[in-house]
Amino acid sequence: MKVIQTKNFFVNSENPPPNSECRDVVISIPQGVISCAQNEHIRVSLGAFSMRQSFYTINKYNNVFYLVVFNMNTLTISSAKITIPEGNYQAFDPQLTQVLDVATDKAFVDLGFTGATALTTPPKWNYNILTGKLQLIVTTAGAGAQTLANMKLVSFTIKDYNAGSGSVIQQIIGSDTLSAFQDSHEILGGCRETRNVVTGVDTEAVFDNLKSLFDVQRTGAAYPANPTTFDLEGYYQASLGTKENLYLRTDLQSNNVQTSGFDTGSSGYPFVVNSQILAKIPFGNQPSSFVKDTETTPISYYYQSGYNLINYIDNGNNLYSMRLSSKNITSLRLTLTDGLGRLIPEESKEQIECNALYFTATIRIDVMVDE
């Protein structure tokens, strides 16, 4: 096809129109600005994009998992939510392991492991710099015979979560739908639970069927007695972030397609569906860091990331483009999401109210005709 007309549409979401916000902009287009004749076609491409990385790498989408305990005395399952404080973590040890120590200790307290049933020592997270794996050690002597017969960590990524299904999944999550769809398994280096319902012939079987985030090894007394130690270790390398790309989406109808895994709540069938993704913008390599020591004994080092700009410029080949089915466009919606269709996570509601999570983009509009 031959390009007969080209124009650039410069977009800045810092001052969004009414009924929009900085991550999700709906723009009214004057008549004739984006249009073509009946024998012509419109192609929309992303020419350029830039945005400061003003969102945390560990955020509300990847910072929640659960401690799940099986009590052999009462034949019951109990659970407590563990939340990693949001932020841009620079190191696993001591930054991430320290906050995990505190959050996991709180989870055991929430489950009643205090006083006579208290753990011998607080739960301890370790990071293996060689393998990149996280490990949790729980020493249970004194926790009460069979009170802590078995335990596991669980992370949920459930596309079709139904709070009314009535299985152990709903017992753990309740109405907290944000915790039902998490990427925390990637942060921790473990496996996620994706089912909406988990069944079993009895409560113990249900507990066993629940997908464990980590490998669990019991040391000490034989099951079902309370063991001396639980040793939980990730299955693969942990991570300080879970996203490699931003996704710029639009409401324009086009001939683009995608696999089914790019949208929260979508089913796995059909596997190939129509797509509203205009562009996939990589984060790129993190900038250099500087090191500051505390000038104390022993010396501690703090690593501070530099300024990070997410930037994309098309190489001239219209890599990210859509051929539209419409001949005239009167409205254009641009939405900035992660790979699962979720709006880029804000650091606070005020950040959105101030439109501080904005982006700029150059949309190239080509009018084309068959040669």
| DSSP track, 195-207 | -S----SSHHHHH
Cis amide leading into 94 (omega within 30): yes
Q: Are residues 83 and 217 in the same domain?
A: yes
Q: Are residues 43 and 84 in the same domain?
A: no
Q: For the chain, what is the domain count?
A: 2
Residue 2 neighbours by CB distance under 10 Å: 10
C-beta of residue 11 within 8 angstroms of C-beta of residue 367? no
Rounded to 5°, the CA angle 120-122-127 comes to: 130
Report d(CA 115, CA 148) in Å as an integer. 14
Which parts of 179-244 are beta strand (E)?
A: 215-219, 229-233
C-beta of residue 135 within 8 angstroms of C-beta of residue 92? no
Confidence of residue 288 (pLDDT cuts 50, 70, 90): very low
Is residue 238 domain-resident? no
Report d(CA 173, CA 190) in Å as an integer. 19
Sign of the dihedral through C-alpha 321, 324, 328, 332: negative
Residue-level pLDDT at 276: 86
CA proximity to 57, closest of 84, 97, 82, 93: 84
CA proximity to 172, closest of 60, 63, 61, 68: 68
Q: Are residues 229 and 89 in the same domain?
A: yes
Q: Are residues 220 and 351 in the same domain?
A: no
Residue 217's identity, in one-letter code, is Q
For residue 256, what is the domain's CATH number? Answer: 2.60.120
- E strand or H helix that includes residue 170: helix 168-173
The residues with which 188 forms a beta bridge, in sequence order, are: none
- How would you list the strands of the sheet with 229-233, edge to edge? 124-127, 134-139, 229-233, 215-219
Is residue 25 domain-resident? yes
| Domain limit, last residue, from 233, 261, 295 | 233
The pLDDT tens digits of the residues spanning 114-136 come to 877 788 899 999 999 999 999 99
| DSSP codes, 339-368 | TTSPBPPPS-HHHHHTT-S--EEEEEEEEE
| Domain limit, last residue, from 210, 233, 256 | 233
Q: Are residues 70 and 214 in the same domain?
A: yes
pLDDT at 162 > cutoff 50: yes
pTM of the predicted structure, to 2 decimals: 0.89
Q: Are residues 340 and 263 in the same domain?
A: yes
Distances (CA, A) of 101 to 4, 16, 245, 265: 63, 42, 30, 33
Q: Are residues 105 and 227 in the same domain?
A: yes
Report d(CA 162, CA 190) in Å as an integer. 24
The pLDDT tens digits of the residues spanning 71-128 come to 988 999 999 999 999 999 988 988 999 999 999 999 999 999 987 778 889 999 999 9
Q: How many CA atoms lie within 13 A of 311 on its CB side?
A: 8
Give the structural domain span for 139. 64-233
pLDDT at 353 > cutoff 90: yes
Report d(CA 66, CA 179) in Å as an integer. 9
Q: Are residues 217 and 248 in the same domain?
A: no
| Domain limit, last residue, from 233, 259, 292 | 233
Report d(CA 332, CA 334) in Å as an integer. 7
The pLDDT tens digits of the residues spanning 225-284 come to 778 899 999 999 999 988 889 999 999 987 788 877 666 555 666 778 778 899 999 986
